[in-house]
Amino acid sequence: MKQQNIHFRTVFLVSVFLMCWVSLSHGQPTTGQPAPSFTLQDTAGTSFDLSQIADNNLIILYFFDADSRPSQEGLLNLDQLRKQYKDADLTVWGITLSPPEKTEKFLNLIKPDFPVLLDSGKVSAAYQASLVLPSVCIIGPGLKVLDYFQGGGKTTEIMLMRVAERQLQRRQTISAKAISEQVEKIDPGNVKARTVKGYANLQEGNAEKAEKIFQDLAQETGEAEVVGKEGLAALYAKSGKMDKAFELAQEVEKKSPERGYPHVIMGNILYSQNKKKEAGAEFEQAINKKESEPFQKAIAYNQYGRLSAIQGNYEKSREFYAQAVSLDPYFVEATSNTGLAYEKEGNWEKALESYQRALDLNSNDTFAAILARKAEDMLSLQKDVEKKKRIDSLVKELAGRYKSQEKTRVKGEDTWTSRPMVITFVDIQEKGGLAERGGFSNVLASELSSELNASGRVQVVERVVLEKLLEELNLGSSELADPETALRLGKVLAAKLIGTGSLYYLPDSTLLNLRLVDTETSAIPKVITRQLNTQLALQKELHALNRDILKTIIMKYPLQGFVVQVNSGEALINLGTDQGVVLGTRFDVIEEVKPIVYKGKKLQGEPQAVGQIEIVRVEPSLSYGRIVQQTRQLKTDDRIREKIEPKTTL
């Protein structure tokens, strides 16, 4: 009997030693570290390699026992979610040490919408998932570990809510709400589930539903009351009810002094009131408080970074953005903001890396795509030594012309023939609240420039030329705010029009006020006021804005020139692609009518059309047209003007 006890103790000690050795040799997966790589097969022999799904931004590895219902609990919830919401963009792999026959039985029973992989023990050991099941590892961008959980029951609820929070961070609001509702069925009093559902509705713009959820929470006591009133403060701030939001945020601060998010709300409101110093103090408190959800703390760091960048402290801003991304690896705005901070310092390579990371998170992100193109152009310019020399030389010439007030027109020059329609965008100021994302004015100018250039009708001054000229002349926002300065700059750049104005950040959108100013007459041919959404359908809104500008230019500045030569039903004109002529453009051939003398005063009527030409071939500086009609024989030096249809559409 004594020997049996000794033997039992020996086996027990060896088992404990082996368990400790496994733990020490592998260790629990650590947040932020690369997930251990592996390749496993399912029961059909199909191989699954973790490295092959590195582009998937949310992966759940669920280690379980195929013969244990409690071990399967969370996995069954995830399977239900995947089957119900096919667009949830959620990758789940079940991994089991169970024998193939038991695994097959499990598969036949539930027919999961994810692969179940057979493990011999190495992968489970690498993830420290051999002894406690279920064990769950949530993997994020770059195959880095985000979260790790062990055990079922209440731990399964916590795990599911963390998945819901990650989906909320990814703006996968439908699945975030669905998971929250699943957890609510298990635990109707789960405060976090209700809170996530409230913020998901707020993110979707369902203000009424969000308000009802937060109000119900606020009427309870303890944690529920605090997060409910906090959610209401966020909702009221987004709805523009700033006084109500500020009051509620202060109330939450008194009830729960360690909550950080109320300070973010108050900081944003103070910034919109132009109280930047006070706003900074609130953001600082927000990042130092202990109680915040990860996504809320990430927003605090991002806003403090935005403020630092506006104040010119780009290195500090990047530190804050890095903290934001470490808390929320799906934070596209903070990732993109990092690129802008590098851009301000002229580090285009690092800027491009940041924009590409943002696109890895969301390939449809308009901001990141446009900014990445600009960074690529700048890097290409740096490598093109000859082009860089030409631009530097041009900038020196333009700067000298600006300082000497030299005119770009030559005395006696033909003033009838249209010059190339050149436009430049100067000093679109960002005002109002502190948006989570910077660089909207850059995005606006870059995208409009790209689309207008592509039209063939308009030439936009290269952004790099404008920026280098501003740097050479040491002209900042305060100087460019002076209309005279902007006009002088436009004239030096040989621009017929300058686009200037402001982007005013509202709680839930951005108000654009864009003015097109004629540099020769100082007239304003067009004022565009439009509400833009920085997240939804931005590309579509920018395209519509481009069409509006282009239509204005065509209507207000029709092309005009001269007939150079007439031959056998064809006319040669002195306009080409340089001025924006395209195939099919029609021109009226016009001549002045004799003035009418009435009571000693000459009354001059509009020129009358004596013929019409349709363009059939275009070269850079001239075009060939078919004479469509004529009331007299057309001749050299006849004036022509573009025929604009009353309902011009683009």
Secondary structure of residue 615 in the 3-state scheme: strand
Query: DSSP H helical segments within 328-413, as ranges?
Result: 332-344, 348-361, 366-383, 385-404
Residues 592, 609: Cα–Cα separation, whole Å: 9
pLDDT at residue 11 is higher than 50? no
- Supply the pLDDT for residue 236: 96
Domains of the chain: 414-556 (3.40.50.10070), 560-642 (2.40.10.170)
Q: What percent of the chain clears pLDDT 70, i.e. is strictly above it? A: 93
Average pLDDT (98-103) is 95
> Which residues does residue 105 pair with via DSSP β-bridges, in sequence order?
none
Residues 483, 500: Cα–Cα separation, whole Å: 9
Residues 42, 135: contact at Cβ < 8 Å?
no
pLDDT at residue 589 is higher than 90? yes
- Supply the pLDDT for residue 18: 39
Residues 41, 96: contact at Cβ < 8 Å?
no
How would residue 174 be classed by pLDDT, with cut points 50, 70 and 90? Answer: very high
Segment 417-474, tens digit of pLDDT: 999 999 999 878 899 999 999 999 989 998 899 999 998 899 998 888 888 888 888 8
- Supply the pLDDT for residue 490: 83
pLDDT at residue 183 is higher than 50? yes
Average pLDDT (479-487) is 77
- Supply the pLDDT for residue 650: 54
Residue with tokens 């970074």, as numbered in its chain: 305
Residues 378, 401: Cα–Cα separation, whole Å: 25
Segment 489-504, tens digit of pLDDT: 888 888 899 899 999 9
pLDDT at residue 308 is higher than 60? yes
Tokens of 199: 């913020």
Distances from the Cα of 265 to the Cα of 195, 197, 204, 252, 303, angstroms: 17, 19, 19, 11, 10
473 class by beta-carbon count within 10 Å (0-12 exposed, 13-18 middle, 19+ buried): middle
- Supply the pLDDT for residue 521: 86
Regarding predicted confidence, which is higher, 485 or 578?
Answer: 578
Residues 34, 374: Cα–Cα separation, whole Å: 31
Name, in order, each residue with C-beta under 8 angstroms of 565's C-beta and a sequence gap of 6 or more: 571, 572, 636
Average pLDDT (388-393) is 86
Average confidence score pLDDT of the chain: 89
- Supply the pLDDT for residue 415: 85
pLDDT at residue 647 is higher than 80? no
H/E segment holding residue 484: helix 483-492
Neighbours of 313 (CB within 10 A): 15
How would residue 528 be classed by pLDDT, with cut points 50, 70 and 90? Answer: very high
Average pLDDT (170-199) is 93
pLDDT at residue 10 is higher than 60? no
Neighbours of 37 (CB within 10 A): 12
How would residue 412 be classed by pLDDT, with cut points 50, 70 and 90? Answer: low
Backbone angles phi, psi at 40, to 5 degrees: -130, 165
- Supply the pLDDT for residue 83: 87
pLDDT at residue 7 is higher than 50? no
Nearest Cα residue to 148 out of 36, 290, 42: 36
- Supply the pLDDT for residue 43: 93
pLDDT at residue 338 is higher than 60? yes
pLDDT at residue 2 is higher than 70? no
Name, in order, each residue with C-beta under 8 angstroms of 254's C-beta and a sequence gap of 6 or more: none
Name the strands in the sheet holding 91-96, side by side, starting at the edge strand that comes first in the sequence. 47-49, 39-42, 116-118, 91-96, 59-64, 135-140, 144-150
Tell me the DSSP string of 154-223: HHHHHHHHHHHHHHHHTT-HHHHHHHHHHHHHH-TT-HHHHHHHHHHHHHHT-HHHHHHHHHHHHTS-TH
- Supply the pLDDT for residue 24: 38
Segment 21-43, tens digit of pLDDT: 344 344 678 888 999 999 999 99
> For 40-49, 205-214, 486-495, which range has the lowest pLDDT when averaged over its residues?
486-495
Q: Which of 3-12, 133-142, 479-488, 594-603 has the highest mean pLDDT?
A: 133-142
- Supply the pLDDT for residue 598: 81
Largest CA distance in the chain: 138
Residues 375, 378: Cα–Cα separation, whole Å: 5
445 class by beta-carbon count within 10 Å (0-12 exposed, 13-18 middle, 19+ buried): buried
C-alpha R_g of the chain: 33
Segment 120-162, tens digit of pLDDT: 999 999 999 999 999 999 999 999 999 999 998 899 999 999 9
How would residue 12 be classed by pLDDT, with cut points 50, 70 and 90? Answer: very low
Tokens of 538: 């931005």
H/E segment holding residue 597: strand 596-598
Tokens of 229: 């009133």
Segment 232-272, tens digit of pLDDT: 999 999 999 999 999 999 999 999 999 999 999 999 999 99
pLDDT at residue 78 is higher than 70? yes
- Supply the pLDDT for residue 106: 92
